[in-house]
Amino acid sequence: MMEIGLNHYLVLSTILFSIGLIGVMRRKNLLMLFFATEILLNSVNIGFAAISHYYGDLTGQMFAFFVIAIAASEVAVGLGLLIVWHKRHNNIDLDNMSTMKG
Amino acid sequence: MFEAISFYLFAFLTIAMFFITVTTSQALYALTALAAGMIFISAFFFILGADFLGAVQIVVYSGAVMALYAFGMMFFDTTRDLKEKHGNSLIISGLSILVAILVVVIFAAPMVSSNIEALYPVVEGAGNTQQVGLVLFTKYLIPFEVAAVMLLVAMISGIVLAGKKMDLSLTMMSDAEIKDMKIEKNKKVLS
């Protein structure tokens, strides 16, 4: 109980990942969807850092860095697209983005 | 002892913050709760001895990403309450927990079979930042450069998408066209 092992971190990572997935599936607003995506990426980062620590291997930390870089560029491109969409349609709800519905 | 206390404290705080982010109906609460959760996550990195990663987490997430989101929220109408899907919450929760467990199994399966070995073991007698630098600039140099190019592409695309009149190019236009544009602009300012 008092000794924190790798399993504790993996369980925490699982809990955070499922919170993020619930957010992805529940939200209608696209901005809130982006927030949930950030939660997903962060939970995976915790798992990487924990494995890197308990196996004495730096590869996990390296991948965590690349995940952070990808998250930063995703936010930049995604927010740009969101602003363009908001200028045209004046809302960012997911339900209104059904122009390709058959 | 101290590690266990801090782990449970920050685990509780992080889960609470992210739960608020996912469930609240106000965008501003979601943003602040997300920022707080990011800071608390960096605490795990410090506990795990990944000091550099923790610092990068604070600087990039709580600094850059949260500032970008706050900037983006100024464009959108965030004062009204957010509408949410009212699907079957049992199915949603079950699916997300199932997928999360699946991800953990994917991670843990090679470790349970216990045939992984440290490819780039920790260098003795060096700080975490030095170790990260040693590995990043020897084994992962090309991915590092590719990530830099990707960030550049993301920056340019962000500027082009969010900026005004980015489809016009001053260097490709003739002098007469630029003069016309300036006159039009002045008319708009005066009127």
Distance from CA of A30 to the nearest CA of B (A): 10
Residues of chain B with C-beta less than 8 angstroms from the C-beta of A74: 154
> Which pLDDT band holds residue B100 (cuts at 50, 70, 90)?
confident
- Residue B51, in any domain of the structure: no
The answer to whether position B184 is within a domain reads yes
**Is pLDDT above 90 for A42?**
yes
Determine the pLDDT at residue A46. Answer: 93
Q: Report how many domains make up chain B.
A: 1
Predicted pLDDT at A58: 85
The shortest CB-CB distance from A21 to any of B21, B45, B99 is to B99
pTM: 0.82
In this structure, is residue B135 part of a structural domain? no
Backbone angles phi, psi at A21, to 5 degrees: -65, -40
In a domain, B7, yes or no: no
Distances (CA, A) of A28 to A80, A96, B78, B87, B186: 19, 10, 13, 11, 42
CB contact under 8 A, B44 and A9: yes
Which of A17-26, A44-53, B60-69, B102-111 is predicted with the least confidence, judged by mean pLDDT? B102-111
Q: What is residue B49's predicted lDDT score, i.e. its pLDDT?
A: 87
**Window 5-24 of B, Cβ < 8 Å to A:** 7, 11, 14-15, 18-19, 21-22
- Highest-scoring range by mean pLDDT, A20-24, A40-44, B117-121: A40-44
Instruction: Specify the CATH number of the domain A7-90.
Output: 1.10.287.3510
DSSP string, chain A: --S--HHHHHHHHHHHHHHHHHHHHHB-BHHHHHHHHHHHHHHHHHHHHHHHHHTTBSHHHHHHHHHHHHHHHHHHHHHHHHHHHHHHHS--BGGG--TT--
> Does the residue B9 lie in any domain?
no
Residues of A in contact with B30 (CB under 8 A): 32, 35
pLDDT tens, B5-22?
A: 999 999 999 999 999 998
| Three-state SS at B90 | helix
Residue A89: other Cβ atoms inside 10 A: 12
pLDDT in tens, A50-90: 988 888 888 888 999 999 999 999 998 998 888 888 888 87
Q: Please report how many Cα atoms fall inside a 13 Å half-sphere around the Cα of residue B107, on the Cβ side.
A: 24
B154 interfacial to chain A (CB closer than 8 Å): yes
Picking from A20-29, B34-43, B135-144, which range would have the lowest pLDDT averaged per residue? A20-29
Range(s) of the domain holding residue B190? 140-191
What value does the mean pLDDT of chain B take?
Answer: 83
- Label residue B180 by pLDDT band (50, 70, 90): confident
Task: Tell whether A88 is within 8 A of chain B (Cβ).
Answer: no
Q: Could you give the ipTM of this predicted complex?
A: 0.89
